[in-house]
Amino acid sequence: MVYLDDASTYRVFDKSGMLDHLHAFPEQCGKAWEKVVDFELPHGYSEISNVVILGMGGSAIGGDIVRRLALTESSLPVWVHRDYGLPAFVDANTLVVASSYSGNTEETLSAFGASLGTQARKLVITSGGKLRQLAETEDIPVYVIDYKAPPRAAFPHTFVPLMGIFQKLGLLADKSADLREAVHVLSRLSGDCAETRPVVSNPAKGLAARLQGRIAIIYGAEILTEVAQRWKAQLNENSKAWSFSESFPELNHNAVVGYEFPAEVRDKVFLIMLRSSSLNPRSLLRYQATAELLARAGIPYEFVESEGESALARMLGLVLLGDYVSFYLAMLNEVDPTSVDAIDFVKECLARSAISGGG
């Protein structure tokens, strides 16, 4: 049996050092901001009418969260494209941002290759690979990530640069003060969730223990919608566990009706509702009504509150908390959080196929 307060647990199962990346998260956010401040965009890049961010998995979620911030501050549409090819609306007034930590993501390479046949302005965020080579050959600006980690653990270096670029484009207000606040919140949270903090006073360890053996379903609203997606993906990849996410208010128009059947699932699920006092009061009422429905159905649930004043601090704080929860659940599941054998298997199957990836 695994004990989260036993230091040997981490030596046995965290073979590749995922915990080190979690501890580094606050500092890496600050370093990424310092770097993007010095990153120069070509003249005319702000003269656009829409933005398309290309990415998959851990390289795409940063785009989702930046898009959420831009929804409240910019009149320009932002689209996160997780697929082959390009949306048909991409034209000379579009900025295409290809984000791939490895630089070898098949779908992103396909979409970026398609963008080369358009007059769209283009930008790449990567650590290297084919994407960097192609961009440099085409004289396209590249923001180079110099932090070594699995893509999902490099989140500060895919999200923060995008936020800085959006600020430079005039799509977001100056986020310097908000990021300072966020780093402060993250640093405090990292201490609260450290492996040396016992289960009884460690929010991440405690929640992981309650999730063990259950399917985690994550609910979020407004600025926490994409954070719920991040929790879902981290529980999948780090914990090797089934997990799903949904968003308010949409889930109140369908998901809540499905709490009845099959009855057996009630003992196998756990609902986590990511919540913030800054949400629309009507959204907060929906949280309460949903909690009552869950209680009536006998389904366990828990509210997880955000910290901080700014939207950025609230979002990033919950991102890091979810990362810690997924890590500790991996320990309880007795698996290495870094390995992603199933993803590698799919890539190998694709590599053996003669069918082209389209770019």
Which residues are tagged catalytic? 237, 253, 347
CB 110 within 8 A of CB 359: yes
Q: What number of residues does the chain have?
A: 359
CA distance 279 to 337: 32
Residue with tokens 């989140």: 155
CA distance 27 to 194: 15
Element (H, E) at 359: none
Nearest alpha carbon to residue 323 among 3, 5, 25: 25
CB 207 within 8 A of CB 302: yes
Buried b (16+ CB within 10 A) or exposed e, 126-140: bbbbbbbebbeeeeb
Listed in order, strand segments (DSSP E) in 145-295 are: 215-221, 243-248, 269-275
| DSSP designation for 39 | P
